[in-house]
A and B are shown apart, each in its own frame.
Chain A
Amino acid sequence: NAGVTQTPKFQVLKTGQSMTLQCAQDMNHEYMSWYRQDPGMGLRLIHYSVGAGITDQGEVPNGYNVSRSTTEDFPLRLLSAAPSQTSVYFCASSPGQPNSGANVLTFGAGSRLTVL
């Protein structure tokens, strides 16, 4: 089982460039989410989706767009990258909403983004 696959693992952008971080899962999970991890800040939720066609904002959504056209894929788009978006990004999925102990998040290996 591949689990949650994120690409690319590393990316360097210039300020103002756009890019998409890809996330795919092969576990038929309904819930998918994106977190960013910054030193001293822990993990903060950017956007999440409870199923195909449904997305919602998390704690830090500004500067990011998402879509969920299929159950398997949940790409994260940066339309105009800024240095403040330098971070490590994690995609995570679970069978249903992780609002109980029954639905545990499975994380990808992360994508390290640097914006110059």
Chain B
Amino acid sequence: GNSVTQMEGPVTLSEEAFLTINCTYTATGYPSLFWYVQYPGEGLQLLLKATKADDKGSNKGFEATYRKETTSFHLEKGSVQVSDSAVYFCALTTNSGNTPLVFGKGTRLSVIA
């Protein structure tokens, strides 16, 4: 089946630090990969996505590259801000039939000034 494993949190960083949140996956079929972000008190919203191997998704200074050889989709940002404090979810789906979106357990990021 399909599954996503992401690093446990919480992660606490100082402002302007470099961020990496690891995400690896297993999938039957060819997956599309996503990062969603949940700000405090809100629903999830799409941060970025990649639909084929070696694609790089990017948004708001965040990047993630779809690595088929390592089955990974790690999220990175070069310089985090306090406003980036949120919970980040890695997710995947595959193009085989009624395949729902499968989420990782989420990683809570706290950025301190």
Contact = CB atoms under 8 A, between A and B. Distances in A.
Interface of A: 4, 33, 35, 40-45, 48, 50, 56, 58, 90, 92, 97-101, 104-105, 107-110
Interface residues of B, number: 25
B99 A109 contact: no
Contact of A100 (B42, B95, B106): B95
Given A42-B103, A100-B51, A90 B98 contact: no
B99 A42 contact: no
B58 to A, nearest CB: 14
Interface of B: 32, 34, 41-46, 49-51, 89, 93-101, 103-106
B104 A105 contact: no
The 5 closest A-B pairs by CB, nearest first: A107-B43, A101-B51, A42-B105, A101-B32, A43-B103
Given A42-B105, A99-B93, A104 B46 contact: yes
6 contacts: A42-B105, A45-B100, A45-B101, A58-B100, A100-B51, A104-B49
